[in-house]
């Protein structure tokens, strides 16, 4: 799937984990096996987003077992998906940064499809995946289609799969960017602001696998309502004062 030309000099790989005790160890082991083919130097960052199960303890054990490679960020309470991604970006040390979700619905070796694309002559700033065949219940697929249409109508965001949790970023592409949302709207807001900043974003198809352990949280009413609120806050502010709105929010990178 990957080749030597697509191997990056360095890569920070991270994933958010909220009550993923059944997946966190297996995902880290997957990453330890796959990342040497994708980067000369790499790190794995687990963002424990206020888990109430054993996720945090398991993550700490993995960091102790693999010092200098596996690192952990703990949120004392559940801050939300976007806040977890922001923590991953902020502590990442390397030039290239990639993330997936913590539920193992994306395979770490499939990041090779993204690194191969980044190595092509046009050298894009960001590569975002789109699920070739979504392995989710019909109701989540319906939500996703509606959400994609809304982002296209109200923001002109022409991305096939806005919330696909398989993305790769050049560090410089995120410099100076600020994002307000700490919830599920984080990915869409980040893509909107990347486009506004003139960054080159390309897409690559990736496989998607059914969740086998744990329960999804993305379709919870509280998560959806928070995303709707953040969606309309951004849209209304862009109508009123575009320049000021683009600069609102917290820095994506920790060194900004």
Residue-by-residue DSSP string for 47-98: EEES-SSSHHHHHHHHHHHSTTTEEEEEESS---HHHHHHHHHHH--SSEEE
| Three-class DSSP category at 99 | strand
The owner of tokens 């939300």 is 80
The owner of tokens 């209304």 is 236
E strand or H helix that includes residue 146: helix 138-155
User: For the chain, what are the domain ranges?
Assistant: 4-251
What is the rounded distance in angstroms from the CA atom of residue 39 to the CA atom of residue 119?
A: 12
Q: Higher model confidence: residue 174 or residue 255?
A: 174
Residue 143 pLDDT > 90, yes or no? no
Residue 137 pLDDT > 90, yes or no? no
Residue 18's pLDDT band, with cuts at 50, 70 and 90, is very high
How confident is the model at residue 29, as a pLDDT? 98
Residue 111 pLDDT > 80, yes or no? yes
Residue 3 pLDDT > 60, yes or no? no
Q: Higher model confidence: residue 223 or residue 124?
A: 124
Residue 187 pLDDT > 90, yes or no? yes
Residue 141's pLDDT band, with cuts at 50, 70 and 90, is confident
Most confident of 67-71, 139-143, 145-149: 67-71
Closest CA to 197 of 180, 179, 177: 177
What is the rounded distance in angstroms from the CA atom of residue 16 to the CA atom of residue 117?
A: 24
What's the topology of domain 4-251? Spore Coat Polysaccharide Biosynthesis Protein SpsA; Chain A (3.90.550)
Residue 12's pLDDT band, with cuts at 50, 70 and 90, is very high
Partnered with residue 46 across adjacent β-strands are 15, 72
pTM of the model: 0.93
How confident is the model at residue 136, as a pLDDT? 77
Question: In this structure, what are the phi and psi dihedrals at residue 199, rounded to the nearest 5 degrees?
Answer: -75, 150
How confident is the model at residue 4, as a pLDDT? 44
């Amino acid at each position: 799937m990957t080749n030597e030309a697509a191997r990056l000099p360095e890569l920070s790989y991270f994933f958010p984990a909220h009550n993923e005790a059944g997946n966190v160890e297996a995902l880290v082991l997957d990453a330890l096996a796959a990342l040497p083919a994708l980067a000369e130097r790499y790190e794995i960052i687990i963002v424990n987003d206020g888990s109430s199960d054993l996720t945090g303890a398991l993550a700490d054990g993995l960091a102790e077992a693999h010092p200098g490679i596996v690192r952990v960020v703990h949120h004392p309470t559940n801050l939300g998906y976007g806040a977890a991604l922001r923590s991953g970006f902020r502590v990442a040390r390397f030039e290239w940064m990639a993330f997936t979700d913590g539920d193992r619905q994306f395979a770490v070796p499939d990041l090779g499809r993204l690194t191969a694309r980044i190595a092509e002559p046009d050298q894009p700033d960001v590569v975002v995946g789109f699920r070739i065949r979504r392995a989710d219940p019909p109701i989540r697929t319906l939500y996703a289609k509606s959400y994609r249409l809304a982002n296209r109508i109200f923001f002109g965001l022409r991305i096939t799969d806005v919330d696909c949790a398989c993305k790769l970023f050049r560090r410089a592409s995120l410099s100076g960017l600020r994002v307000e949302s700490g919830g599920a709207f984080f990915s869409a807001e980040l893509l909107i602001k990347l486009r506004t900043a003139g960054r080159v974003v390309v897409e690559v198809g990736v496989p998607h696998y059914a969740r086998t352990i744990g329960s999804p949280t993305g379709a919870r009413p509280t998560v959806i309502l928070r995303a709707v609120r953040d969606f309309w806050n951004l849209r209304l502010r862009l109508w009123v004062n575009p320049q000021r709105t683009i600069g609102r929010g917290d820095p994506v990178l920790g060194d900004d």
